[in-house]
Structure 1
Amino acid sequence: MSDAMTTDLYEVTMAMSYLREGMIGPATFSLFVRELPPDRGFLVAAGLELALDYLADLLVGPEDVDVFASALHQPRRDLQPLLGLEFTGEVRAVPEGRIVLAGEPLLEVTAPLPQAQLAETYVLNQLSHQTAIASKAARCVLAAAGHPVVDFSLRRTHGPQAGFQAARLGALTGFAGTSNVAAAAILGIPAVGTMAHSFVEAFPTEEQAFRAFARSHPGPVTFLVDTYDTEEGVRVAARVLRDLDRGPGSAVRLDSGDLGTLAARARALLDAAGLPDVRITASGSLDEYAVDDLVRCGAPIDTYAVGTRVGVSADAPYLDSAYKLVEYDGRPVMKLSSAKVTAPGPKQVFRRPGCADVIALADEQPPEEGRPLLETVMWDGRRTAARATLDECRERLAADLAELPSAARRIRAPVAPRATVSEPLSALVSRVRRRIGEEKSAPTAPRTGSGQTAFGSHRSVPK
């Protein structure tokens, strides 16, 4: 089986139906987030690279057909038309690391209808999940106000792959390192870590634990000081660090309790011990809200280690995202369901100063000072450029954050900018609405021949 199997069953049934009906004309699907989650002033586009890997390798093989047939309880011959299906289309997308707003396409796929349909599940999964995590991570970096942030999320993410993605997305948004050794090695980012409470508990005393740990680590060390009594743990750590002359680069870690108060006390104890270069790392259920509170109260914390709440985007674990057909065979289409209306036609987003974005038709000229966000990243089923590096993604994000209004960057009660719609796109929406109303009241047209349907015979609506 191949990655073609990573799909919802209804994608298979729709693709099969399209093939049987001869509906293989070019279709454009648009992937977007309807509304931002609560307490989000922006999103960070992410997940594109894995989506492109999937599309570039998409090929339905004999084993895939066997599994499809079994799942649908149909003879294999009925699913045979899917054999050999691969992605030969075009992808236009917002590059990873760029800021996006509600309603703006993160990605548009244009390909023969069965191909574009079968791609939905995997592509939507990757962009939705990774954009949610990247957006959470970016807010942690903002909250830390220049202090390093590191990723400690692997143990509680929803599987090892999600843990790898959390580490990568943290690095993309500006994290200083990750506890995930595999991710650090593959991505070329610093691996960071300290010790667990179990390590301290395994020794008769804290001091024995700290000295044993230091013997195994000849460089700077970080001691976890809150296994028993935090202040006493800091005193013991200070004594060991001073005895071993390990001050510069070393740290103590606080993992529980009133971190602000404990950090202030730890700083005073370390300074009194003549160890002003020993840093303080904080962890323990931290996310951007807790980090923001600690920074605002002036807690003397040097590094913030964020884990579970960020790795699963605990306060907003999903996005209200969609992958919707907007054009088939030159014919703009739209959905009119209550609260889920979609705009027809392939689109472009033009960014203007201050993120005063305009959602427009793909072939429109940019407005004054407008720059297009969507770029062609795949053509004829192949990537058009090399994979983006983490440095490139970080640079994009830094530039977009600098342009984002300060109210949107707030951690609490942010105000997200709202994109406007261009006049040509508004006009197209009106024309398609009118056409749908006329078609609903018209008699059903008879089929005109093999492989032809009334759906495919409509004249295209001019743009």
Structure 2
Amino acid sequence: MPTALSTDLYQLTMMAGYYAAGIHDHASFELYVRDLPRHRSYLVAAGLEQALDFLETLAFTQGEIEYLRKLPILSQVPRAFFDDYLPSFRFTGEVCAPPEGTPLFEHQPLLRVTAPILEAQLVETALLAIVGFQTSIASKAARIVEVSAGRPVIEFGGRRAHGTEAAALAARAAYLGGCAGTSNTEAGLRFGIPVSGTMAHSWVMTFEDELEAFRVFARLYGDRSVFLIDTYDTVAAARRVAGSELRPSAVRLDSGNIVELSRKVREILDAGGRHDTGIFVSGDLDEHKIAAFLSQRAPLNGFGVGTALSTSRDAPALGAIYKLVEVHRHGERVPTMKLSPGKLSYPGRKQAWRIFERTGGEDLEYGQRACAVRDVLALADEPGPSGGVPLLDQVMADGKRTGERPALSDLRERCLREVAQLPADVRGLGENARYPVVVSRRLQALADSLTESLDGA
């Protein structure tokens, strides 16, 4: 869990500066991306529950306060900041956000924080890290799951993640993004994710005979066994399994020409009456390799994806930002925006709306199967477009959650359902698909007006 010091120094110097200046007004910040990462045509919101956990428990320990007191840069800060304010510090603000699993696009808030500015400023770094990381992984997982066309994808990336905490959170985000399970047992315990595993080459190599390695394994794990058959000779191992009494649930291929080997293995297993034994594949997979296998009709039943998933290898940094959009001055809400070249932001607290077209058939949430056709980015206090579904809900008030913690399995189902509602080209692997996000007239007018006044200033 992040702490009060899971932040950049300048957040603390600004926080102390606000305190010294007597500035305790409320402000609103929004966390979003200006541009989608390369290779991504949508994002999947993730990490909100961990963000809310952080905010609900945020406090300074005495040791942390004494550390800050001794920093030379804070030596001129009033003593009351350390003696009175920090010991009683708690997050007391409001958070609005889309549910985890919601597909999002550029400029749409992943979350909005409204709080006294000292509080809202302090939490920027941790919120960007929490939400940015899990959103990156969930977005990658959704792409992999989409091309796998209903075949289960298991997250295998714990050993390649950037630390053990990142491994557990990557497994959570991958499951939320549609994966069927994880090999990470810590994530299974913490988050209730189904865990899955096979065997390593070291297991097979420990025995003098490959078939004996499989037999010993099967005596313990029965028809749940998955045999790794590429340690020596994949085809020969498949023949030995098919000619034995063993009936594993699947065999795993981790190397070689997957398309060619899977066809040979399938033929051997079927000839030996092992029609129910699946072929599971791993070995530095990503969505492009899986799509290539399936386009060649490789008879594959599931995939284990590691490094490419747990690090979001092709887009490892989300590039999320946390920008001030509104401040309270003298009892008035004042929208703010940034005009730096290439870093334009839209002012004011915002809501995102999704417009659907009905396509027939049953859908759990909307009564009929629906296809998302465009989104509208609008000010939070303006009426939404006709038929639009608002994406952001209030999830925290006065520093406390406003509802029950959702089950991760329910968030996963939401993700699968809502990604399926996106246009096919947006869900695919093409580089040029763009989902339309329209800025409302009122928001655009506010941005134009502020731009003119700021340019004049």
| Fold match by TM threshold 0.5 | yes
Q: 1:369 deviation in Å?
A: 1.3
Q: Is the 8 A contact 1:150 1:178 kept in 2?
A: yes
Q: 1:60 deviation in Å?
A: 2.4
Instruction: State yes or no: 1:233 paired with 2:237.
Output: yes
Aligned to 1:158: 162
Aligned to 1:52: 52
Aligned to 1:452: none
Task: Describe how 1:127-166 pairs up with structure 2 within 5 A.
Answer: 127-166=131-170
Query: For the structure 1 residues 110 and 289, does the alpha-carbon distance in structure 2 shift closer, same or farther, using more than 3 Å as the test?
Result: same
Aligned to 2:88: 84
Q: Is the 8 A contact 2:251 2:277 kept in 1?
A: yes
After superposition, the C-alpha distances for 1:13-44 in whole angstroms (9 at most, x for unaligned) are 11111111111101000110111112211110
Q: 1:177 deviation in Å?
A: 1.8
Q: Is the 8 A contact 2:20 2:78 kept in 1?
A: no
Residues of 2 paired with 1:350 and 1:92: CA distance? 14
Q: Is the 8 A contact 1:45 1:134 kept in 2?
A: yes
Task: Describe how 1:446-457 pairs up with structure 2 within 5 A.
Answer: none
Residues of 1 paired with 2:189 and 2:308: CA distance? 24
**SS where residue 83 of structure 1 aligns?**
helix
Instruction: State yes or no: 1:97 paired with 2:131.
Output: no
Q: Which residue type is aligned with residue 293 of structure 1? A: A
Aligned to 1:281: 280
Q: Which residue type is aligned with residue 399 of structure 1? A: R
Q: 1:309 deviation in Å?
A: 0.8
Residues of 2 paired with 1:99 and 1:373: CA distance? 10
Q: 1:48 deviation in Å?
A: 0.5
**TM-score normalised by length of structure 1:** 0.90
Aligned to 1:27: 27
Q: Which residue type is aligned with residue 351 of structure 2? A: Q
Q: 1:414 deviation in Å?
A: 5.0
After superposition, the C-alpha distances for 1:364-390 in whole angstroms (9 at most, x for unaligned) are 101111111110000011100011212
After superposition, the C-alpha distances for 1:141-163 in whole angstroms (9 at most, x for unaligned) are 10100111111111111111111
Residues of 2 paired with 1:60 and 1:328: CA distance? 25
**SS where residue 145 of structure 1 aligns?**
coil
Q: Which residue type is aligned with residue 108 of structure 2? A: E
Task: Describe how 1:242-257 pairs up with structure 2 within 5 A.
Answer: 242-244=244-246, 246-247=247-248, 250-257=249-256
Residues of 1 paired with 2:10 and 2:242: CA distance? 62
Instruction: State yes or no: 1:223 paired with 2:241.
Output: no
Aligned to 1:451: none
Q: Is the 8 A contact 2:178 2:416 kept in 1?
A: no
Task: Describe how 1:301-312 pairs up with structure 2 within 5 A.
Answer: 301-312=300-311
Q: 1:271 deviation in Å?
A: 1.2
Query: For the structure 1 residues 284 and 234, does the alpha-carbon distance in structure 2 shift closer, same or farther, using more than 3 Å as the test?
Result: same
Instruction: State yes or no: 1:259 paired with 2:277.
Output: no
Residues of 2 paired with 1:322 and 1:24: CA distance? 23
Unaligned stretches of 5+ residues in structure 2: 357-371
Structure 1, 287-296 or 75-84: larger mean CA deviation: 75-84
Q: Is the 8 A contact 1:134 1:169 kept in 2?
A: yes
**SS where residue 105 of structure 1 aligns?**
coil
Q: Is the 8 A contact 2:2 2:126 kept in 1?
A: no
Residues of 2 paired with 1:185 and 1:114: CA distance? 36
> Identity over aligned residues, as a percent?
44
Query: For the structure 1 residues 391 and 414, does the alpha-carbon distance in structure 2 shift closer, same or farther, using more than 3 Å as the test?
Result: farther
Aligned to 2:368: none
Query: For the structure 1 residues 15 and 74, does the alpha-carbon distance in structure 2 shift closer, same or farther, using more than 3 Å as the test?
Result: closer
Residues of 1 paired with 2:225 and 2:242: CA distance? 12
Residues of 2 paired with 1:182 and 1:231: CA distance? 35
Residues of 2 paired with 1:73 and 1:431: CA distance? 39
Aligned to 2:419: 401
Residues of 2 paired with 1:66 and 1:24: CA distance? 23
Q: 1:300 deviation in Å?
A: 0.4
Task: Describe how 1:292-441 pairs up with structure 2 within 5 A.
Answer: 292-329=291-328, 330-353=333-356, 354-413=372-431, 415-438=433-456, 440=457
Residues of 1 paired with 2:72 and 2:88: CA distance? 19
Aligned to 1:183: 187
Q: Which residue type is aligned with residue 318 of structure 2? A: L
Query: For the structure 1 residues 291 and 184, does the alpha-carbon distance in structure 2 shift closer, same or farther, using more than 3 Å as the test?
Result: same
Q: How large is the RMSD of aligned CA atoms in angstroms?
A: 1.7
Q: Which residue type is aligned with residue 19 of structure 1? A: Y
Q: 1:400 deviation in Å?
A: 1.8
Query: For the structure 1 residues 286 and 174, does the alpha-carbon distance in structure 2 shift closer, same or farther, using more than 3 Å as the test?
Result: same
Residues of 1 paired with 2:189 and 2:25: CA distance? 44
Q: Which residue type is aligned with residue 7 of structure 2? A: T
Q: Which residue type is aligned with residue 141 of structure 1? A: V
Structure 1, 9-18 or 187-196: larger mean CA deviation: 187-196
Q: Is the 8 A contact 1:225 1:252 kept in 2?
A: yes
Unaligned stretches of 5+ residues in structure 1: 441-463
Aligned to 1:202: 206
Q: Is the 8 A contact 1:349 1:360 kept in 2?
A: yes
**TM-score normalised by length of structure 2:** 0.91
Query: For the structure 1 residues 188 and 40, does the alpha-carbon distance in structure 2 shift closer, same or farther, using more than 3 Å as the test?
Result: same
